[in-house]
Amino acid sequence: MTEKLSKIADAKFNFNATKVGLLEKIEQNLVFTYNGGLFKSTPELMATVRSLLPISSQVGQGGDRAWRKDHKMVLLDWYQNPIEVDLWELHKKINETHQYALNSYMEEYSKLKKVRNGQQL
Amino acid sequence: MDNSSKGIILFAYNSGFDYVSIANVSAMLAKHYTGLPVTLITDVFGALMANLDYIDNIIDCDAPGNNERIFRGTHDETTKKMNWKNLNRAAVYELSPYDKTLLIDVDYLMFNATMASIFETDIEFSCHNTAFDLSFKQSFDVDQRLNEHGIPMLWATVIYFKKCERAKAIFEMMDEIKVNYSYYAKAYGFKEKPFRNDFALSIAHHAISGYDADQSYFFPFKLMSLPPTAPVIKFNTAAQLVGNPTFIGELVYEYRDNGTLYRSSSQSNNIHIMNKDSFTETLCKDIADYYE
């Protein structure tokens, strides 16, 4: 076996280390912009926005119609800047971003789990 | 409606490495993921190079002075001293034709669209304040501050700015630091040579923020970096089924840990490649073929 081939065959794959790199990528995928502000779709933000929505609407009962017409609020973005948000729009965006980031994490994590040797990459 | 002009800027001066060709690959990826025009700032020799297919605009600007830097070998202790033409980075504020500019190093390759979102914000100036070592050795831990007890270090690899007083002041101060680099090196406790834009940016940002470690406007994710000891060995494509079904690009690289050779992939992260030997003709061609 040539030295070059031997080197390729020897290449190990460190699953845990690569997973850390993958998690860092998910951090990027969680970032989104809304109305000039920059947000990160964290569980904390998700819970905050959810808690500001009227309870009746959360259980699918239609909610307070008058309140629904005026559901603008001011929230702080990632940089602590005040941003006027439409709670429903923001709620949707947070969920979409979060789901996209975690779905792609699951997909790539599943692929990584199958890798046994660096040669497979 | 935001009518401001937006674009990406790269600086490239050939010296030892073919930075202009690398800039072409970097420009192609940046255009693909942001949809924005790319301007290359280079000298007359760079501007005359053929096949700058992905550059929309070339600004001819000579590289001032000499700045020598030692480049380390990939898997051994060999070093080579080369001219590093990085002294006019702060001129980007005056040279940029855009209202909103993303300045990236040529060795920063985009493999996702995260950076495009920064243009949709009202941020005036942003950069990275943390870097992540993809060879998992925490080799950038020593770069968290300019010295052990110094001010926080910022990375000039990717800088976003709007044409505004704050950005102008930061770049003017970087220029001032460059001119009096020996003084600042002594005052802030780092080596006088080579000149590093990272250090100039760190001091300028700190000063313009009122000598405060202003944490407000850094990118909310780390600068993913491959250190000089981790060469890229190939370009891969992988199916992405989530979101818009498409294929994504990633780089496969090698690193050593306690003598053992490991291979890993960049997972379509935007990535700063410090090992310049990685930019082989084959790698550049494979990336270009895929994204064309």
Task: For residue range B50-109, list pLDDT tens digits in order.
Answer: 678 889 999 988 877 666 666 665 655 666 666 767 778 899 999 999 999 999 999 999
Task: Assign A86 a pLDDT band (cuts: 50, 70, 90).
Answer: very high
Q: Looking at residue B278, what DSSP letter applies?
A: G
What pLDDT digit, counting tens, does each position of A39-70 carry? 999 999 999 998 888 755 554 555 555 455 56
Judged by a CB distance cut-off of 8 A, whether residue B75 touches chain A is: no
Judged by a CB distance cut-off of 8 A, whether residue B139 touches chain A is: no
Whether B233 contacts B252, CB under 8 Å: yes
Residue ranges for chain B with pLDDT beneath 70: 1, 50, 65-82, 84, 213-216, 238-247
What pLDDT score does A13 carry? 81
**Which residue in the block uniquely carries the two structure tokens 């006088």?**
B192
What pLDDT score does B244 carry? 53
**Which residue type sits at B9?**
I
B121, B225, B252, best to mutate vs chain A, most A CBs in 10 Å: B121
Longest alpha-carbon distance in chain A: 77
Average pLDDT of chain A to the nearest whole number: 81
Task: Assign A76 a pLDDT band (cuts: 50, 70, 90).
Answer: very high
ipTM of this complex prediction, to 2 decimal places = 0.78
Q: How many CB atoms lie within 10 A of CB B241?
A: 10
B263, B266, B268, best to mutate vs chain A, most A CBs in 10 Å: B263
Task: Assign A4 a pLDDT band (cuts: 50, 70, 90).
Answer: low
CA B201/CA B206 separation, integer angstroms: 8
Facing residue for B216 by CB, picked from A17, A24, A80: A80
CB contacts < 8 Å between A and B, how many? 103
CA B119/CA B122 separation, integer angstroms: 8
> What structural domains does chain B harbor?
6-222 (3.90.550.10), 226-291 (no CATH)
User: B16: distance to nearest CA of chain A, Å?
Assistant: 26
Q: How many CB atoms lie within 10 A of CB B222?
A: 19
What pLDDT score does A66 carry? 46
Question: Where are chain A's structural domains?
Answer: 30-115
Judged by a CB distance cut-off of 8 A, whether residue B261 touches chain A is: yes
Return the closest-CA partner of residue A30 out of A103, A85, A87: A103
User: B273: distance to nearest CA of chain A, Å?
Assistant: 15
Count CA atoms closer than 13 A to B80's CA, side-chain side: 12
CA A52/CA A59 separation, integer angstroms: 14
Whether B268 contacts A24, CB under 8 Å: no
Q: Sort out which chain A residues have CB atoms less than 8 A from B225's CB and list them.
A: none
